[in-house]
Each structure stands twice: as C-alpha cells, then as structure tokens.
Amino acid sequence: MKSELSKLHNSRWKRILPPLLIVCIIAYMDRVNISFAISGGMDKALGMTASIAGLASGIFFFGYLFLQVPAGQIAAKRSGKKVISIIVPIWAVISILSGLCTNSTQLLILRFILGIVEGGMLPVVLTMVSNWFPNEERGRANALVLMFAPIASIITGPISGYIISFSNWRFMFILEGILSLIVLIPWLILVKDRPEQAPWISDEEKKYILDSLKEEQKTLAEENNIKQASLKDLLPNTAMWKLIILNFCYQSGDYGFSMWLPTTLKKLTNSGMGMVGLLSSLPWIACIAGMLLFSKLSDRTGRRKEFVALPLIGFALCLLLSTTIHANVWISYIFLIGAGFFAKAGGVVFWAIPSRIFSKEVAGGARGAINALGNLGGFFGPYIVGFLIQYFNFNTGIYTLVVLLFVAAFIAATLPAIVQATVKKEQSKLKQTV
C-alpha cells in the first residue's frame, strides 16, 4: 500500500511544479538583477548615491502591494494561470525599458511599476500549490517552488556578471527581459489551475487530492470556526498580524542581504564583476540545501514554528559573524555561505502556515495581505542598508538586518499552537491509512 501511495503522488510533482518554478525564477531574476547593475556601473552612469541605490532596489516593494490581495483572490476563485499569462509580457517590457533609462528618476518609476506587475505572482503560485497539494505535502511542495529565489540568484549572478563584463548593465536588462517572454510558452502549455482541469491525472490521484483538501477544510472549520469569515473580518486576527510583522522583518533581512551581496563581495574581495557573479552563486547553492532540509524536517515532524525560528536565528548569526570577522576574507565568505544556507529555509515553512490558520475561502486573500504588507520589508531592508552606508558605515547596516531577523525569530516562536497540533493530527491519519 505504501508503494502504491507513493506512485499515486508522483504526477503532480513532475507536471505542476516545474512550470510554476520556472516562471518564479524569471520573475526573481528581473527583480534582483538591479543589484548587479548597481555594482556594475549603473550607479555612476545615472549619478546614484548609496541611499538612492537602496531606494531603487527597494521601491519595487511599494508597487508590490497593489496586486497581492486581488491576485490571490482571483487565483482562489477563478484562474491563476490567466493572471500570470497577462503579467509576464508586461514585466518583460518593463525590464527591457530599464536598460534604456537615462536617469535615476526613470529607473525609480520603472522599478515601482515592475513591483506592481510582479506583485500578483507569488500569491497566485502559492494558491495554485495549495490547490494541488494537501497539507502533509505542502511544506515540500512550497519548498520546491520557493527554490526559485536561490536558483534565480545562482543563475543571475554568473549570467549578469558575464553580460556586464563583456558588454554593460543596459544590455543585461534587455537580454533578461527577452528571456521572460520565452518562458511564457511552457506556462501556457503545461499549467492547469486545479486537478479537475487536468486530462492527464488519474481518477485515483484526483480523488486523493480532492478528498484530502475537503477533509483539511472540514478540520480547519471545526478548529478555527472561521469558515464563513471574509478577509475584512480577519483584519483583527492577531495571528495574521503576527505573520505580517514576522514576514516584514524576515524580508528586510532577506532582501537586504540579497540586494547588497554583490556589493559586499566586491568590497570584501576587490574582484571584478565576473568573479563577483561566480562568488555570489555559492551562498545560493547552500540555500537550496537549507530549504530542502528544513522543509523535510518540518513536514516529517509537523512542527512549523520551530523550523521558521531556527533558520532565522542561524541566518542572523552567520550574517553577524560574516561582518565581524571581515578581516579574514575567506572566513567571512564562509559565513556568507552559511547565511545563504539559512536565508530562505524558514520561508518555505512559513508559507505552509497561512492555510492552517485561514479557511480556503479567505486563504488566497490572506496570503496576499501577508505577502504585500510583509514584503514592504523588501523595501526597508535594502534602503536602510544603503542609508546607513551613506551616513554611518557598512557594518551598521548589516547589524540592523541582524536585529530584524532576531525579532522575526521571536515572533515565530509565539505563533498559535494550532499550527503544529493540526499538522501532527493529519500526519497521524495519513500513517494509519498507509
């Protein structure tokens, strides 16, 4: 029975997750390639100070607010596939235009608009994952999809560094914008919103998914008693605001680290952009290992809070040590690799939590609100580092990120116990059926 159950679950992992992962990778490349453009000469070409460079990296997340909730709701009630099919060509054009801008004001406007367009991507993708994977699989499914960030960082570093080294930062934006249009093809061909729409899925697998999701919603309604609640009704919910603040502090540390990593490496090693691009890949290779490890441990044990908090603590400590031991270049670099290992490991477990607190009817919108407001940290982190570099020093900026990560870890430890108890109960039921 166990081997049969294993075979039953395989098709979704192979057919649904790859195209979701690919479109997320391209979106993230267009989001973070500005960090290589800044260290590759864009700051000088456009007359940007350190604080303006931080603003250019972070203003994306103000635009990111607008489509989070509506996109998540559309994906939950109608079609996430259509949402992504519309926004991909738009963000591709914006990326190309970024390579043609002549001053920092034009760049700031384009980055803000890019944030608006890409804002719908993650809530849609996470909602589609929740349509295909029951809770006992969702941590691992989220981990595989959310690997888009380290994979994109691994790819973006060498590619962007190489393009800039033989051409310039303008050509980098243009080529990577064109790449976005290409990935739209597999998305249109392969992706389905729900199991009911997939002609390739077996009746047994479809029944397993739908029955599991139905049972999950029934349990959630009984334990939380919010089945008929609207998103507006959930605004006073303490747990939701904890998730928003946790995500804000987490994203501040994550994006502060990500956006300033090329500059950190250039400052640390005095290398050219080609070498900086290669060195920036190793922390993100370690990041994939961390995501897989912590998501597997969380799914196996049913413990969500601990496996959000522990990676955050590890991330903070490695970031702190990479800064305080900077006199030894390679030891500092090893701690940067360690920071990469922990950087997104807590995030894959974090996104398995909202569906355990909120009912299906409002989970898409709740994810959007948590992601939108929390991702303002994506503005705050890069900007505060740039501001502190300009007016104090580089280390002060990094220490601020460390404090925010410790705050996020503390909040994770105070999340509702129902997150863990419900997961354990469902895993026990699954073992009994096997």
Reported as a single tens digit per residue, the pLDDT across 177-216 is 898 888 888 888 888 888 888 888 888 888 888 888 888 7
Q: What is the pLDDT, as a whole number, of residue 363?
A: 64
Q: What is the mean pLDDT of residues 212-236?
A: 64
CATH superfamily of 14-190+230-433: MFS general substrate transporter like domains (1.20.1250.20)
Q: Are 211 and 219 in contact (CB under 8 A)?
A: no
Assess contact for 68 and 371: CB atoms under 8 A. yes
Q: HEC string of 131-163?
A: HHCCHHHHHHHHHHHHCHHHHHHHHHHHHHHHH
Instruction: DSSP for 62-106, please give it.
Output: HHTTTTHHHHHHHHHHS-HHHHHHHHHHHHHHHHHHHTT--SHHH
* pLDDT tier, 362 (very low <50, low <70, confident <90, very high otherwise): low
Mean pLDDT score, 255-279: 80
Percent of the chain with pLDDT over 90: 15
Answer for the pair 119, 14: CB distance below 8 angstroms, yes or no: no
- Cβ atoms of residues 351 and 337 within 8 Å: no
Structure tokens at 171: 């050509």
Report angle CA 209, 210, 214 to the nearest 5 degrees.
Answer: 120
* Nearest-10 crossing angle of helices 169-182, 148-166: 140
Distance between CA 66 and CA 81 in Å, rounded? 19
Cα angle: 231, vertex 232, 233; to 5 degrees: 90
Angle at Cα 25 formed by Cα 22 and Cα 27, nearest 5°? 110
Question: pLDDT class for 334, splitting at 50, 70, 90?
Answer: very high
Please say if the pLDDT value at position 1 is more than 50: no
Nearest to 252 by CA among 66, 404, 370, 123: 404
Asked if pLDDT for residue 413 goes beyond 90, the answer is no
Q: How confident is the model at residue 432 (pLDDT cuts 50, 70, 90)?
A: very low
Percent over 70 (pLDDT), the chain: 87
Which tens digit of pLDDT belongs to each residue from 126-144?
Answer: 888 888 888 778 777 877 8
Q: What is the per-residue pLDDT for 421? A: 39
157-172 confidence digits (pLDDT tens): 788 888 888 888 899 9
How would you class 157 by CB atoms within 10 Å of its CB: exposed for 0-12, middle for 13-18, buried for 19 or more?
A: buried
Which amino acid is present at 27? A
CA distance 74 to 121: 12
- 25-38 pLDDT, tens digit each: 888 888 888 888 88
- Report the SS3 class of residue 78: coil
Q: Say which DSSP state 392 is in.
A: S
Q: Which two tokens stand for residue 379?
A: 């503005």
The tokens 């990469």 sit on which residue? 340
Q: The tokens of 296 are what? A: 């597997």
pLDDT the model gives residue 359: 66
pLDDT at 151 > cutoff 60: yes
Under the phi-then-psi rule, with left for phi > 0, alpha for psi from -120 to 50, and beta for the rest, what region is 271? beta
Residue 390 pLDDT greater than 90, yes or no: no
In the numeric block, the tokens 């690997």 are attached to 147
Q: What is the pLDDT of residues 273-320, one digit of tens each?
A: 778 878 888 898 998 899 889 888 887 887 888 889 999 999 999 999
Provide the pLDDT for residue 122: 83
- Cα separation, 410 vs 241, whole angstroms: 14
Residue 335: pLDDT band with limits 50, 70, 90: very high
Q: What is the pLDDT of residue 108?
A: 92
In the 8-state DSSP scheme, what is residue 193?
S
Q: Which of 410, 414, 419 is nearest to 357 (CA)?
A: 419
pLDDT of residue 425: 45
Among residues 378, 396, 377, the alpha carbon closest in space to that of 387 is found at: 396
Tokens at 388, concatenated: 């502190």
Selection from 42-56, 133-147, 417-431 with the highest mean pLDDT: 42-56
**Residue range 376-405: mean pLDDT, rounded:** 84
Distance of alpha carbon 182 from alpha carbon 184, whole angstroms: 5
- Across all residues in the chain, what is the average pLDDT? 81
Q: What is the pLDDT of residues 67-113, one digit of tens each?
A: 877 887 788 888 889 999 999 999 899 999 999 999 999 999 999 99
The structure tokens listed for 34 are 């500005």
Between CA 173 and CA 225 the distance in angstroms is 49
- Most confidently modeled of 1-5, 150-154, 356-360? 150-154
